[in-house]
Chain A
Amino acid sequence: MPNSIVSIRDVVKEYSLGKVVVPALRGVSLEVERGEFISIAGPSGSGKTTLLNLIGCVDTATRGTVEVAGKNTSALSERQLTQLRLDTLGFIFQSFNLVAVLTVFQNVELPLLLQNKLGSGERKKRVMELLTAVGIDTHAQHRPSELSGGQRQRVAIARALVTEPQIVLADEPTANLDSATGEAIIDLMKDLNQKKGITFIFSTHDHRVMKHADSVVRLADGKIIGKESADAAVQAALTSAAGRSPVGAH
């Protein structure tokens, strides 16, 4: 496993709600290769977000080990985890999570300022490059509230990539977008994955989104029930969806 950028072994994650213990992940093991474009699929409540949170170092496993970029996250302090997130990870959120009072440019520049590695000229260049890459450079001085959902998610993608992270995590990045826009966003991600070799891990319900992935990790009830190619996964998803409801025949 020398090429694994994420390595998860026998991870159990339990939430306790008062006295009740809710198991969210029940023994999950997963290896993600550098440069993979991977989707995590599964019904609601199956543990997709929980898994991404563990990989994203915003949460810790109850049992088992999570290694991100070669580091065992349970051995790191809060500060170190934060630093790891800043330098190694990029986040794309379902609700975009842009800072409303800042402009598009300033939002994208934010992680660079936190990193404090580049001078302002380089920062500007990097930000503009990325804004151009996601096709939003003309809106650099706009506020997020002046943009459409798809445009906002493009900004979020630019922000996630601006620090040149090794891994970008996206929890249902298309859930708040219509399907055409969603597909365009996934195409964009895929494009960046191929051009820059950045590892993408994203979760989704949507089989049209799923089909763009290199491979799909299927979760059910807190367990991985398989890792397969996108086509197979889409097929499986379609059948299970057709079995339950008439929707999704598209």
Chain B
Amino acid sequence: MISKLVVLLRIAFANLFGSFLNFFVGAVLFFGAALLVVGGALFGTLDRSLSKSVVGSITGHLQIYSARSKEKLEVYGKFDGSDPNLAPMENFGELKEKLLKVSNVKSVVPEGTSGAMVGSGNTIDLTLEKLRSLYRAQKDGKGLPAADFKTQADSLKDHVKNMVTLLAKDMEKVTELGTKDSIEPEEKAALATTSAPDFWASFDADPFGHLELLENRIAPQVADADLLFIRYLGTDLDAYQETFDRLQVVEGEKVPKGRRGILLPRFFYEESMKLKNARRLDKIKDARAAGRKLSDESDKELQRFQRENQAQTREIVLQLDGLKTKTAVEKLRTLLGRTDGDLAALLGEFFKTTEQNFDERYKFFYAELAPMLSLYRVKVGDTMTLKSFGRSGSLEATSVKLYGIFEFNGLEKSPLAGAAALIDMVSFRELYGFLTSDKAAELKAMKEQTKARQIDRQNAEADLFGGAGDDSAAVVEAKEEKIAEITSAHGLRESAAEKQARVYTQAEIDDGVVMHAAITLKDGTPQAIAATQAELEKLFAATKPRPDAAVQGAVQKLVDEKKLPFALAQATRTVLEGEKQRTADPATGATDAQLIALKEALQGERARLDGKVYEALDKLLDSARPQVWVVTWNSAAGGLGQFIDVFRLILGAMVFGFALVALIVVTIGVTIATLQRTATIGTLRAIGAQREFVVSMVIVETLVLALVFGGLGALCGAGVVMWLHTSGIPAFRDELYFFFSGPSLKPDLDLAGLVFSIVTTLGVSVLAVLVPIFLAIRVAPVTAMQTSE
């Protein structure tokens, strides 16, 4: 045996480098094995790091949401950017208590995602406010000396005039382009009036009347022109900050316990809240630090930043009042060596930065201009007003204090991790248009009692935020009174200041509706996640209605008739089976995944299905589903979670592709090699080698080939992975930060991957050897006699 192995190995190794063919086959095995190791490590790490990002910033390991929801939970929003239609979960407090009793559950954090509009900077409001107090002080005789008053007043008036003029110009453009066909004639008229010289000439005659017109008609137009959309995650901020400890407040502070408040993601804050010109200067600076050059004409992005900075100086011009404008003009003239030119022109020139002057201009901007500007629309400590359309379509608004700016450790640059602001649960509920359930009930009773006073929220809202159509003090007063009445009666509406100051108890935070909740686990390994998911499903199985034999019978009939589309029939059958089992044993039944699959299939086929069929299936679903679904984080991450599936798919495809190519190449290679060696095989047979010796020869040779080249490839791959691990693959696009769970991906080499790659290579080779073996055993000893050299 041993001595035979000696011959086999001797021949195998001797043949290894004996033919060009082996090199070709070897090369395929080498690269294949290397690819498997590198690809496996890369995708495995990517898989893990993306999970880490998702799990550690929003989803936790498991998510629960109401099983009454119309759509699937997708915490990052649907493909079109809108939020999935979820039904709220009532009584979150109870749910949380129940969940925390499960041994592997570490924490339960309520969540809900939505979007709102944020009014932009309040430059015009602030300026008008200043102007009003200036004139009021003057009127009350507590004002400044006349000369100072005039300078200040003129400066502020200039500022407002400036803004009005700019707005009028914008409006002209819009009208010309015909893009906005619904400009209110009143707005237009107001703009015409206020931008006319007459208006400003007569200002001092009736300052308060003029101010009123500006405040009511112009200020909203300026604000509306610059509304910003913000996505936010409503949550129990304390629990959230405790659970997702990658969260780091980099400016300001955490929202104090029990308070209302909002935290903005740094990325959003910089990208959307910062003065655009400043932001672009920052970006140019970063780009230059990364080696890019302003002089590079082909760098489209840098060129665009330059262009935009020169053309879009309006935001700066708008912010500066007369006095500051003067100062800025002087400074800019000195810097640029000019004797004339207005602010816009000077700024345009200032932003013409080059490789030579950039550093100087950047420094000048932050040292000289920035102190006169508000660099951010909202500063930490400011109160922001968020407006959103609640679930009933009504306009909801709430004011929250911006406590701080946050980022996720390692995900600093990821737009995805920084996509949503964090807002307290109470404000979230308010914005979403929820009342806590008991309050809603109370309100309903109240409404019925006092029908005469019935004012629905929507009207109250409109009155609060709507225009001052009829401004007579009496009317306003009456409205305020009504609103105060219902709100105070039901605790619905407190003043902004009251809201800010109030500390909510944990019960108040928990006791109410929640859209979904993140569950983090003590043991977060995939197996533990699956086990806990099953355990929770079992827990919620108690909330399923009793199995309904009639419903099952009706569906069984549909299935038997074979009229359902294939996928739907498949899903139906599974659920039906589960339900039948549950009838016998309440602890069994279809899993959430199976039920959700049926629901998805049913939703998908709805348009094509007969009404009655739909109804029957819907009833089955209804009778089978628990109160809440328990889903894994990757399912909850929706499209993003699917990336994981994509990674796995790519990896699978890689393995399959390699296996297939290798199988073909090795089979062809070894077959040709065997055919070429017919004479040798014949000779060996003639001089007394048995068939199995010849078979062993082919196998050993191929295995040696696979082991040597595959092994070398795997080792090389391991080397590449190790090198990548130390150097790291930088996240060359900001989006990648999230996938990489940090600024660079450092693929980990795992032994399993290495072994897997070698085993795959060997496995393929064993398969590849079948054809050559078949040929080899058919070589008769007599061929040895017939060969000539």
Contact = CB atoms under 8 A, between A and B. Distances in A.
A113 B680 contact: no
B14 to A, nearest CB: 4
A114 B4 contact: yes
Contact of B688 (A94, A100, A115, A176): A115
A193 to B, nearest CB: 20
Contact of A101 (B4, B14, B684, B789): B14
Nearest to B780: A58
A114 B785 contact: no
How many chain B residues sit at the interface, stated as a range, is 20 to 34
Nearest to B693: A114
Given A91-B686, A113-B4, A96 B789 contact: yes
Interface in A78-101: 78-79, 82-83, 85-87, 89-91, 93-97, 99-101
B249 to A, nearest CB: 71
A88 to B, nearest CB: 9
Contact of B788 (A78, A94, A111): A94
A14 B14 CA distance: 40
A171 B683 contact: no
Given A58-B781, A59-B782, A113 B6 contact: yes
A102 interface: yes
How many chain A residues sit at the interface, stated as a range, is 35 or more
Contact of A95 (B1, B4, B787): B787
A82 B10 contact: no
B679 interface: yes
A93 B683 contact: yes
A159 interface: yes
A182 to B, nearest CB: 16
B18 A101 contact: yes
A97 B690 contact: no
A4 interface: no
Most buried by A among B1, B14, B691, B781: B781
A32 interface: no
B103 interface: no
Interface in B670-698: 679-680, 682-691, 693
Contact of A110 (B14, B687, B691, B788): B687
Contacts, number: 93
B3 A53 contact: no
B3 A171 contact: no
Interface in A48-100: 49, 52-53, 56, 58-59, 78-79, 82-83, 85-87, 89-91, 93-97, 99-100
B687 A85 contact: yes
Contact of A85 (B682, B686, B693): B686
B784 interface: yes
B789 A99 contact: no
B688 A83 contact: yes
Contacts of B196: none
Given A91-B784, A95-B787, A101-B14, A113 B7 contact: yes
A200 B6 CA distance: 31
Interface string A148-174: 000000000001000100000001000
Nearest to A97: B683
A97 B784 contact: yes
Contacts of B684: 99, 110
A106 interface: yes
Contacts of A58: 685-686, 780-782, 784-785
Nearest to B2: A116
Given A59-B782, A85-B688, A95-B789, A116 B11 contact: no
Most buried by B among A95, A112, A176: A95
B642 interface: no
Given A82-B685, A99-B683, A159-B687, A176 B781 contact: no
Contacts of A100: 680
B688 A82 contact: yes
A71 to B, nearest CB: 15
Contacts of B680: 97, 99-100
A66 to B, nearest CB: 14
B15 interface: yes
Please report whether the interface of chain B is mostly helix, strand, loop or mixed according to DSSP. helix
Contact of A79 (B6, B686, B690, B782): B690
Interface string A187-198: 000000000000
Given A56-B686, A97-B683, A116-B3, A49 B789 contact: no
Contact of A114 (B10, B682, B687, B784): B687
Contacts of A49: 785
A91 B15 CA distance: 24
Interface in B5-60: 6-7, 10-11, 14-15, 18
A115 B679 CA distance: 21
Contacts of A112: 3
A82 B782 CA distance: 12
Interface string B682-718: 1111111111010000000000000000000000000
Contact of A102 (B14, B689, B693): B14
Interface in B619-663: none
Contacts of A116: 1, 3-4
Contacts of B785: 49, 52-53, 56, 58, 93-94, 171
A102 B680 CA distance: 11
B10 A106 contact: yes
Contacts of A85: 686-688, 781
Most buried by A among B1, B688, B788, B789: B688
Contacts of B11: 99, 101-102
Contacts of B6: 113
B782 A86 contact: no
B699 to A, nearest CB: 17
B12 to A, nearest CB: 10
A91 B690 contact: no
Contacts of B14: 101-102
Contacts of B787: 93, 95, 97
B262 to A, nearest CB: 77
B683 to A, nearest CB: 4
Contacts of B679: 97
Contacts of A176: 788-789
Contacts of A93: 683, 784-785, 787
Contact of B782 (A53, A99, A114, A115): A53
B688 A101 contact: no
A86 B683 contact: no
A85 B684 CA distance: 11
Interface string B344-369: 00000000000000000000000000
B140 to A, nearest CB: 111
Most buried by B among A79, A101, A115: A101
Most buried by B among A56, A79, A93: A93
Nearest to A118: B3
Contacts of B1: 116
Interface string A111-129: 1111110001000000000
Most buried by A among B18, B683, B689, B690: B683
Contacts of B782: 53, 58-59
Contact of B689 (A94, A114, A163): A114
Given A58-B782, A82-B689, 13 more contacts: A82-B690, A83-B690, A91-B784, A93-B683, A93-B785, A94-B788, A96-B789, A97-B682, A101-B11, A111-B687, A114-B4, A116-B3, A176-B789
Interface of A: 49, 52-53, 56, 58-59, 78-79, 82-83, 85-87, 89-91, 93-97, 99-102, 106, 110-116, 120, 159, 163, 171, 176
The 9 closest A-B pairs by CB, nearest first: A86-B688, A101-B14, A97-B683, A58-B781, A95-B789, A58-B782, A113-B3, A85-B688, A113-B7
Interface of B: 1, 3-4, 6-7, 10-11, 14-15, 18, 679-680, 682-691, 693, 780-782, 784-785, 787-789
6 contacts: A83-B690, A97-B686, A101-B14, A114-B693, A163-B688, A176-B789
